[in-house]
Amino acid sequence: MIPGLFEKKNRIKQFCALLIASSLIVSCGSSKNVASKKNTSTKSVAKAENLRKLDSKFDGNVSRSINDVLKDAEKYIGTPYKFGGNTSSGFDCSGFTVKVFEENDFSLPRRSSDQAEAGKNIDIKDVKPGDLLFFATAGGSRVSHVGIVHDIGSDGEVRFIHASTSKGVMISSLNEKYWNKAYLHAQRVL
């Protein structure tokens, strides 16, 4: 065998393992234990200090088709997080959005970064239920997480349903410090 070839192959294997491990960590947020308790609560979350104002001015009604999308999303609350998952046994963030929209005869790309290019980019103040929200959970500006706007509180608070690594499918708020800081943009696909 050629001297040094073994070391090069070993370094390549280590590099590949590092890439795979880092993609698992960055994909759809950080890893934590998954809870399976269903929580459909839409209580307001008090906005912490020093957060961006990420409120919507939407106060109208949503169409029946959007209500159907949200009902389909809600039935998965409590489903565990599963990297690469797109079934009721476990979802990752983009697998969840693909499944919910697919059940309503609408096709989305599989990856959250590709979903971030679908539809029309909209300002946060114009979001309404059914729109998609995109996040950079590892910092920076690279899309690594997606959720569906669930409802808008009377004070403009934007709540969204998504597959989190910590609690599986759940409803969160842009008033939460973590999501407020990670928020990138919104897209309207319906």
Other beta carbons within 10 angstroms of residue 165's beta carbon come to: 23
* Given the residues 16, 28, 150, 162, the one annotated as active site: 162
Q: Is 162 a catalytic residue?
A: yes
Q: Is 93 a catalytic residue?
A: yes
* Given the residues 16, 28, 145, 185, the one annotated as active site: 145
d(CA 189, CA 65): 12
Q: Is 150 a catalytic residue?
A: no
Q: Which residues are catalytic?
A: 93, 145, 162
